[in-house]
Every structure is written in C-alpha cells, then in structure tokens.
Amino acid sequence: MTDPTAQSPAPLVDQPHARVERDGVTYTLLGTAHVSRASVDAVHAAIASGDYDTVAVELDPQRLAALSDPDALARMDLVKVLREGKTALFAANLGLAAYQRRLAEQLGIEPGAELKAAVNDARERELAVHLIDRDVGLTFKRASQRLGWWGRAKLGGGIVASLFGDEEVGHDEIEKLKQGDLLESSFGEFAQESPELYDTVIGERDRYMAARLRESATSQSGARNVLAVVGAGHLQGLAKHLRDETRSPADIRAELETVKEKSSFPWFTLILAVFVLGGFAFGFWRGGLDVGADLMLYWVLITGSLGAVGCAAAGGHPLSIIAAFFASPVTPLHPALASGTISALVEAWVRKPTYADFMALRDDVQSVRGWYRNRVARVLLNFFMTSLGTAVGVWLGGARMLGKLLG
C-alpha cells in the first residue's frame, strides 16, 4: 500500500515521487523529466544515499543500448531489416532518435540522461538493475494494431514529419514533456487526440512496469528497497497499479506483450489478383486481343512507371529504378513481395551503406539534403517512395480496368 505519512528521503523532497509498500518491499517511485538537469541530480543523490538495494528504470534493452552505445546503429544489418519486413519499425525508431537529437541540441541535455545516470550509478555501486519498460517495438506494434487504417496513416505521417523536421521544439511541448513521457511526446499531438494510442503508450506501460517491478522484487532477488526511476507522466498510474493490482505479474506481462498475428490468408492480395487477372481474361474474352492487350499494357505501364517515378524521386540508382519498374506490376498480386522492398534491396546492394553513413544517420535525417546524401536514409526513402508510387498505380490501373470492363 502507499504510505502517505512516511517521511520522504532527503534527496527526493523537492521531486515528484511516491512510496508504495507491498509484500515486504518498499518501492520508491521517482518521477523525472527526461530533459531536466535537476532530475539527473536527483537520481545521483538518491542512489548515493545508500537507501536502496535495487534500481529499476523506465528503459528496455534496446533504448538502453541506444543511450549507452552510440555505435550500435552502425552495426545494424540494413538488408536484414528490409528482408524481415521491419522497415517501418526501423523508421519509427529513427524518428524517435531524430526527435531526441533536436531536444538535445536545443536544451543542451540528452533526453533520458537521468535514466542512463541511474543505470551507471547503480552498476558502480553493484546494485541490482532492472529494465522495466516494454520493448518499444512491441509498443509500436500494439499501437498500430489498435489504430486502424486511418489511424496508422496519420501515425505514419507523424513519423515521416518527425524524420524530416528540423524546427525547434516548441516551448509548450517542452513544458508538457517535463511532466509527461518522451515516447508520448515523440508522437506529437496525435497521442493526445487518439485514446487508443494514449492508452497503449501510457496506460499499458503503467501496468506493464508495475508488473515488472513486482517481478523484480521476488523473494529470490532479496530486494527490499527499490528505487524506480520513471517519467513523471507515469508516476500516478504506476503507483496505482503497483498498489492495487491483484493479478499475477506474469499474466499481465504476457497479455501486454501479445501482438495479434496477421491473418495467414492474404485476402486483400487474393481479391486484387482475382480482380486484375480476371479483368485481363474478361477483356480478352469480351473485346478480343486489342482490349485485353490494352488492359495489360496499361496496368504494367501505370504501376511500373509510378513505382519507378517514386524510386527516382528518392534518388534511387538506375538499377533500383529498373527494379521498381519491373516489380511494381507484379508485387501487388503476390502476398510475400513488395516493390519497395525489392527496389530498396537493390539500392542497398548497389550503393552499400558504409559505417560512416550509419554514424551520420541521426544528423543527416535532420535535413532533406542529408536524406539524399546518406545511403541508409536513401534506402529507407526508396522503400517508402517506391511503395507509394506503386500503390497510386494500383488504384489508377484498377480504376481504368473497371471503366473499360463496364463501358
């Protein structure tokens, strides 16, 4: 239970915090601002006090690696990312990194510095360290599934805007960030406008981190005094779930880590293939060779040309543009292929990204020129622009076919 009468530890008197006692363990929740030097100082002072035997932080292994190892990005296998269909997730992480970089440049402090300080100080004192946040990839996937098609489009647009944006972060946004959550702020106003996104990014993570805290303080761990360093926006929700939740932590974590599997049967692709191939056949049957050949030629030219135009607009290599042209008429009819993936793979093969490209990626995506200069960024741009061109071509080609068949 929460002990409102307990005297606050000296280092936390002027900081947002809460104390919860449960099952013989005292949890001290320190609410921090991810862009505040005062929060960094409070973390240093709290751990230096010697009052805690365990330190938990609002991080997952991936985010800790990004904070602790700037070179981790340079060791990424971009081709593997493309082949495994993780391009959108990679772009989302890149958008978050770009947003954090703008904050760091504007405010003179690295976002999440207090979380990094908590891990480093705890390890120096040989205290147990627990990363209690949910993997950011799982959070993104669960949010994407709950938003629906239009919501995902708006979210994707926000990510793209964060990738290209280089303007200063507004004063109001910074003030909200001091009381909120970095991941929520990176999604912009959409997080406030979308209850589904807000619940996934904030509400679910409150429950998840409370469950992870309870798991970290098992009888085997020997934890009795736990300091949890979390964003101020999570403080009240985390304290509530830590105090009141009766379900087992393992059950809660399993529920919040579940991502619905996509339908194994590609209904949309099948319907599109039947429509297109059936349209070709009907055209030959009803109008003879001229009509059938005209439909096929228009489909190939419109999808191929627009896919190639998208690739060219992304600064694609001539071989990538050719690959986009030949892939775009075929890939919409195949569930396991995507024109953007094929052209991007060719781009990565012809213009293989270098170590320097990965190292400069976070800076280069701050400008349009940087996107075209950096080979990693250009591969991503190739993927999205080719896919967009192909999608437009599919709609135009389908409309032309329907008009011909009904005319």
Average pLDDT over residues 200-208: 86
Distance CA 216, CA 55 (A): 10
Average pLDDT over residues 398-405: 81
Range scoring the smallest mean pLDDT among 48-57, 71-80, 250-259: 71-80
Average pLDDT over residues 111-125: 90
Average pLDDT over residues 279-287: 82
pLDDT tens per residue, range 59-107? 988 888 877 776 666 666 777 777 777 776 677 666 666 666 666 666 6
With tokens 């805007």, the residue in question is 161
Instruction: List, as own/partner pairs, every contact residues 336-343 make where C-beta atoms lie below 8 angstroms and the sequence separation is at least 24, other chains included.
Output: 338/387, 339/307, 339/386, 339/387, 339/390, 340/87, 340/382, 340/383, 340/384, 340/385, 340/386, 340/387, 340/390, 341/82, 341/83, 341/85, 341/87, 341/383, 343/307, 343/311, 343/316, 343/382, 343/383, 343/386
pLDDT band at 254 (very low <50, low <70, confident <90, very high): very high
| pLDDT in the model for residue 21 | 92
Q: Which residue has the higher pLDDT, 78 or 188?
A: 78
Measured CA angle at 201 (ends 200, 203), to 5 deg: 65
Average pLDDT over residues 157-161: 59
Each domain of the chain, given as residue ranges in start order, spans 10-256, 267-406
Nearest to 118 by CA among 192, 196, 187, 63: 63
pLDDT at 7 over 80: no
pTM, to two decimals: 0.68
Taking the C-alpha atoms of 185, 189, 194 and 198 in order, what is their torsion angle to the nearest 10 degrees?
A: 20
- Using N-to-C axis directions, what is the helix angle for 136-164 and 61-68, rounded to 10°? 50
Q: Which residue has the higher pLDDT, 273 or 72?
A: 273
The helix (H) or strand (E) run that includes residue 231 is strand 225-231
pLDDT band at 263 (very low <50, low <70, confident <90, very high): low
Q: What is the mean pLDDT of the chain?
A: 80
pLDDT > 90: what percent of the chain? 32
